[in-house]
Structure 1
Amino acid sequence: MPKMKTHSGAAKRFSKTGTGKIKRGQTKKRHILTSKSTKTKRKLTRQAYVSDGDHAKVSRMIPYA
């Protein structure tokens, strides 16, 4: 069976943790930051995890991560 190809866009956005969860970045942190509070912007710097509904789809895109 041939090797599976990693989706290069997904590889830049997601990474697996040691326990098998998939980390992702937060959205809404690129522009129009003047209208957001400092507290909101600080919370958006934290890493989040992919939801259970999307976990299978994302893990297929990064098979060797």
Structure 2
Amino acid sequence: MPKNKTHKGAAKRIRVTGTGKLVAEHTNNQHKFEHKSSSRKRRISGTEVLSPADNSRMKKLLGL
């Protein structure tokens, strides 16, 4: 049986923490900051833990 291939698009966007959680960057945080409020920009900075509903699908894509 052939090896499973990692979904490279998902691998570039999602990483696994030491405890096994999946984290990703917030959306809407790349460009066009001029019209976004300061509070919104602060809220979308950094990373967030993926929801449990997405975990099984993302782990399959990452080959975990």
TM range (shorter): 0.7 to 0.9
What is the TM-score normalised by the length of structure 2? 0.86
Q: Aligned-pair distance for 1:50? A: 1.1
Equivalent position SS for 2:42: helix
Tell me the distance in 1 between the aligned counterparts of 2:56 and 2:38: 34
Equivalent position SS for 1:55: helix
Larger strand proportion, structure 1 or 2? 2
Match of 1:43? 43
Letter in structure 1 aligned against 2:3: K
Is 1:23 the equivalent of 2:23? yes
Q: CA RMSD in A?
A: 1.4
Equivalent position SS for 1:20: coil
Tell me the distance in 2 between the aligned counterparts of 1:22 and 1:10: 11
Report % sequence identity. Answer: 38
Tell me the distance in 2 between the aligned counterparts of 1:15 and 1:28: 18
What is the TM-score normalised by the length of structure 1? 0.85
Which range moves more in the overlay, 40-49 or 18-27?
40-49
